[in-house]
Amino acid sequence: MNRNEILKIIYIQRDYILAEKLCAAKQDEQNTLMLARVLFYEKKYNRAAIFFRRIHHYTEYGYCELFEGNKKKAERIWSELEDTSPLIMWAKSLIGYIEKRQIKEPTFFQIRNFYESDLDTLLSLKHIKWSENLINSIQFFGEINTEVYKYTARVLYNHGYYDLSEKFLNTGKEYVYEDAELHFIEAQLRLSQNRKIAARKSLERLLEISPCYYPAKKLLEKIK
C-alpha cells in the first residue's frame, strides 16, 4: 500500500483502526508519525501515545500523558530526555509552571511558540487548576516576552472568559500599545459583548497604528 492510500485512509476515510493495523504491519515510521499527529490533534491522546512511544517521539508522548491528566508520568518521560530542542526544554519546565514550583527560565521564543497552544489545550481539556497556575506565572513570563499578555487574552477570549481577557488586554497595552493584535482582540471582545460602537473605536485605533491591517478593515466594514 502506497503513501497516498494511507493518506486517504487517515484523512478521508478516517479509519484509524485500519491505519493503525497497516502502519504496525509495515513498521512504517513516517506514516506512523503522521497517524500519531492526526490522533493527537483530534485529542485522541491515549491512542496517539502508543504510536509516539513506538517510534520514540518521547516529547509528544509526554504531552499525550500530560493532557490525559497523567502529570507525574509526563514528568518522568521528559526527565529522561536531553535538552536537545526548545520544545523539550519548555516541556520540562511546563510541569513546574502548572505545579507552582521553581523552574528554569524560558526563552522569548519558547514563550512565543508554546505557551499559547499549551494554555489553550489545557483549558479545552478542563484542566482548570493547571491553566490557572500557568497563567499565574505571567508576570515572570512577561519579563521575558511582553506578548504573553496578548496570548493569554486571546486564549481567554476564545474560551469565553471575557472579563479576564480584558484584564490581560489592558496590561498588554500598557507594555506595547502599538501591538495591532491587542486592539483587534479587543474589538472582537467588544462585539461579543454586543458593544459595536466600542468595537469600531478599537478598530479605528488599530488602523491608526497599522493602516494596512487587513483583518481590521474587513471587520470594520461588517459592523459599520
**207 three-class SS:** helix
DSSP secondary-structure letter at 139? H
Q: What is the pLDDT of residue 182?
A: 96
How far is the C-alpha of 151 from the C-alpha of 156, rounded, in Å?
9
The pLDDT assigned to 1 comes to: 57
Going from N- to C-terminal start, the domains of the chain cover 1-81
Task: State residue 22's pLDDT score.
Answer: 77
Give the whole-angstrom CA distance, residue 41 versus residue 157: 21
What proportions of the chain, in percent to the nearest 5, are helix, strand and coil? 75, 0, 25
Distance CA 176, CA 28 (A): 48
Measured distance CA(127)–CA(119) in Å, rounded = 9
What pLDDT shows up at residue 39? 92
- State the pLDDT at residue 2: 64
The C-alpha cell 479545552 sits at 124
CA angle 199, 151, 93 (to 5 degrees): 165
Please list the rounded mean pLDDT of every run of 10 residues in the chain (224 residues). Answer: 73 81 76 90 93 95 98 96 95 92 86 97 97 95 96 97 96 95 96 94 94 93 83
> What is the model's pLDDT at position 212?
92
pLDDT at 102: 66
